[in-house]
Every structure is written in C-alpha cells, then in structure tokens.
Structure 1
Amino acid sequence: MKQYQVYLFDFDGTLFDTIQSLYPVYEYGFGAVGMNVTHAECDYFIHISLSQSADYMHMKPEDYPIFRKAIGVGLNLEESLKLITLFDDAIPTVKALRARGAKIGIVSGNNEDHMKIVLERFHVLDLFDEITGNESFKNPKPSAEPCLAAIAKLGRTPSHDILYVGDSLQDVESGLNAKIDGLLVDRSNAYPTYERPKLKSLLDLIK
C-alpha cells in the first residue's frame, strides 16, 4: 500500500459506527417539524447532506432552520451518543500512520463540535491534527469543498501525497474532485461491482 503524507478519514461509517445512533437523531430532527422518518430513510440520509435529506422529504424551506437546529441538539443527546461505537480497525490504523509521521484529519458532513465530543468520549481526540465538519464548507460531498477545507486547515495544497478514505462513493468522488487520492473502505462488500481498488479494512492501509 502506498504511503501518504496526509490521511483524511470520513467520520460516520469509516472511523465510527454511527448507524444505530443516528436513528434517534433523525427522528428528533424531523419530528421537530412534524415529520416522521423510517429507518430505511435514515440509512439513506447518513450518506447525504442535511439539505439533501430535507429536499428528499419535501420539507418546507421555512422549516429547514428548525430542522437543522434540532439535528444539532439530537446529535449530542445521551440517547444517541451511547449508541456510537468505534470500528475495531480505526484507532490501531490511525496510531500506526501517526507513528510513520503522517498527518491525520477528519472530513465529514457531520457537525465539528459533535465529532469532538465523540472523540473525547473515546479519548482519541489528540490523535487527529484537524477536524472538518459542515461548518467549514458550503457544498457537501461529492463536491471538492470538504476535502479542500481540511487540506487548507493543515496548511497544505492538493496533491497525490494526500489520501481521503471513506465508506461511500461520494467520499471517494470528493477526494478525486479535490485533486487528491480517494479510496473506498467497504467492510461489508456493499459495493461488489466497484471497479477501483478498495479496502476491506482500514488496517490494509498499514500493510
């Protein structure tokens, strides 16, 4: 596996298993504007932005600020936080990459304060050199903006010495659009026909 100077990771579904934790978050957020959601819809929303989720549900524009604020509250409810788990391969990989001298960052459509709360709960916040959430960019993945925002925070410019790893095709596309390398981690073989190289585990990065 090629070694990079900078490794950027997606948060939800890549470093942390947050699927179960996000069900009550979406239920809380949509409930704040009088809407109900199914778990199947939540599974889809995990991989798109809040604005895209609202559009999918045909939310009234005037309800969106209420929804967005409620999502922010819901993310940090103990009911949700207690359901978040770390993938077993995440921290051993991050520690090994740091030991090689690499910079490590997070790029996510999630909220930066929420991600820091989660990282602190697991005592791993100090392993990351930067954290980029939806406050730091306007256009979500697959736009290049999320990755470019993270790269700028690190004082770098786009290059193929930087890798973005995520669990969705939008993650890979965001990295490629930012003119860096993008790599899919597909632990459950959710993308069996994917033709580009992919990881079965984050540990593949240190082999």
Structure 2
Amino acid sequence: MARIVFDLDGTLIDSAPDIQAVANGVLGAEGQQPITLEQTRKFIGNGAPTFVARMRAARDIPDSEQDRLLTAFKIGYVSAVELTEIYAGAIPALEALKAKGHRLGICTNKPFKPTQSVLAHLDMTRLFDVIIGGDSLPVHKPDPAMLHAALDQLGDGPVVYVGDSEVDAETAQNAGVPFLLFTQGYHKTDVASIPQTARFDSYSDFVELVEETLAGA
C-alpha cells in the first residue's frame, strides 16, 4: 500500500478566516488596521514567522517587533479553530484511502500545536498515521526533510504528496516524489505554471486520481 502525505491549510482545510482573525487581533492590539481575507491567503504558506513578517510589512511595522508579534500570534493561533472548514469531499476521500489500506500523513508549515488543535476540532486526527508540523524539525518546507520525516514514519511503499501551493510543489520536487495540486487552495501564481504530476479542483474524483498516479509511478 502507498504512503500519501498531505499539506493542511489550503489543501484539506480552509483555515484562512481563523488565521485572519488571529492576525487582526494582534494588529488591533497594536492600533493597526486589519488585513483582508485576500491578503491573509497570500501571506499563508511559509510558516508562522513568515506570515507575521508579511503581516508586519503590510502595515509598516518595523522588523524589531517581529519576535514580540510572532509570540502574540502563536498564542492566539493555538485555539483558532471555529472559522475553519474542511473542503467538500475531503473526509470521504481520506476515509476511502484508509479503507484501501493506504497510510496517510500530514506535512504542514503550520506550527504543530495549532495543527493538533484544528485536526482534533474537526475530528480529523483519526485519519492520519503521522503529523509533521512547521516547528517539528529545525527546517520547514520547501526543505524536503519534513516530507522525508513523514514518509519515513509511514514505512515503505509508493509515495504521493498532495498540496495547494508553490511551496508544496517545490517540496515535492526537492524530495523527488509525485505531486498532486489542489487548485482551490492558496497558490499565488497560475496553476499551470506550478510543477505538478496532476491537479484537481475537487475531492469527488480524488481517490481515482491517486490510484492513477500510483499506477503510473
């Protein structure tokens, strides 16, 4: 059976509204104007420190405030779960893959504690055999070490990585594994320009796409 690893934000869940709420809480405490949902989606992808750096830049907050604001952001991030939604069809697809005997993992730049919190809130923890967060290792995506760590814990077998962004595509390239691109997530450029094995815009036919990818690997 195969090892199938997923990104989280923008791939399985739409967490941007929760992340926006946390960010705007931090900004509001600083007397700053809020960021939009569109800005939030653009800032997501390279981990919490980069998100906060982009948030600061959008409001001309100096670099000297990075550590303090990152700490405040992380505090709010752990419990930011109420506005997050699972993409339609994702749960049945994951359950079908599990039923086929495939082993599933998460490899996300989202910090580990917020990852645990949102997966528990959405009753998704049960679906994954391994969870690697953005602070689980000294490096984060697109460094392939995170993906390799997840795959190592999943044992042997063919591999597929599933994500929604340029960072995920680069991670898959760096790790040398097939990449399936979810087009409804937080990518910044045209989907056709992102390196991919295949792409999909809904989870309705996702299980079949995985099987086709594995057959062609």
**Normalized against structure 2, the TM-score is what?**
0.78
CA 1:174–1:188: 2 relative to 1, 3 Å: closer
State the partner residue of 1:199: 200
Query: Is 1:184 aligned to residue 185 of structure 2?
Result: no
State the partner residue of 2:82: 82
> Which segments of 5 or more consecutive residues in structure 1 lack a partner in the other structure?
none
Q: Per the alignment, in what secondary structure is the counterpart of residue 184 of structure 1?
A: strand
State the partner residue of 1:63: 65
Shift of 1:193: 3.1
CA 1:34–1:174: 2 relative to 1, 3 Å: farther
Instruction: Please list, as runs of the form range in 1=range in 2, the aligned pairs for 1:138-153 lying within 5 A after superposition.
Output: 138-153=138-153
State the partner residue of 1:170: 167
Greater shift, 194-203 or 108-117, is seen at 194-203
* 8 Å CA contact 1:29, 1:68 repeated in 2: no
Shift of 1:53: 3.2
| Residue correspondences, number | 199
Instruction: Please list, as runs of the form range in 1=range in 2, the aligned pairs for 1:128-147 lying within 5 A after superposition.
Output: 128-147=128-147
% identity of equivalent residues: 26
CA 1:19–1:106: 2 relative to 1, 3 Å: same
Shift of 1:12: 0.6
Shift of 1:188: 7.4
Query: Is 1:117 aligned to residue 117 of structure 2?
Result: yes
Letter in 1 for 2:22: V
State the partner residue of 2:92: 92
Greater shift, 4-13 or 140-149, is seen at 140-149
Instruction: Please list, as runs of the form range in 1=range in 2, the aligned pairs for 1:39-50 lying within 5 A after superposition.
Output: 39=36, 40-50=38-48
Q: Per the alignment, in what secondary structure is the counterpart of residue 88 of structure 1?
A: coil
Shift of 1:8: 0.6
CA 1:175–1:69: 2 relative to 1, 3 Å: same
State the partner residue of 2:7: 10
The Cα RMSD (Å) is: 2.7
- Aligned counterparts of 1:54 and 1:188: Cα–Cα separation in 2: 20
Shift of 1:151: 2.0
Shift of 1:46: 1.2
Greater shift, 65-74 or 90-99, is seen at 65-74
Q: Per the alignment, in what secondary structure is the counterpart of residue 192 of structure 2?
A: coil
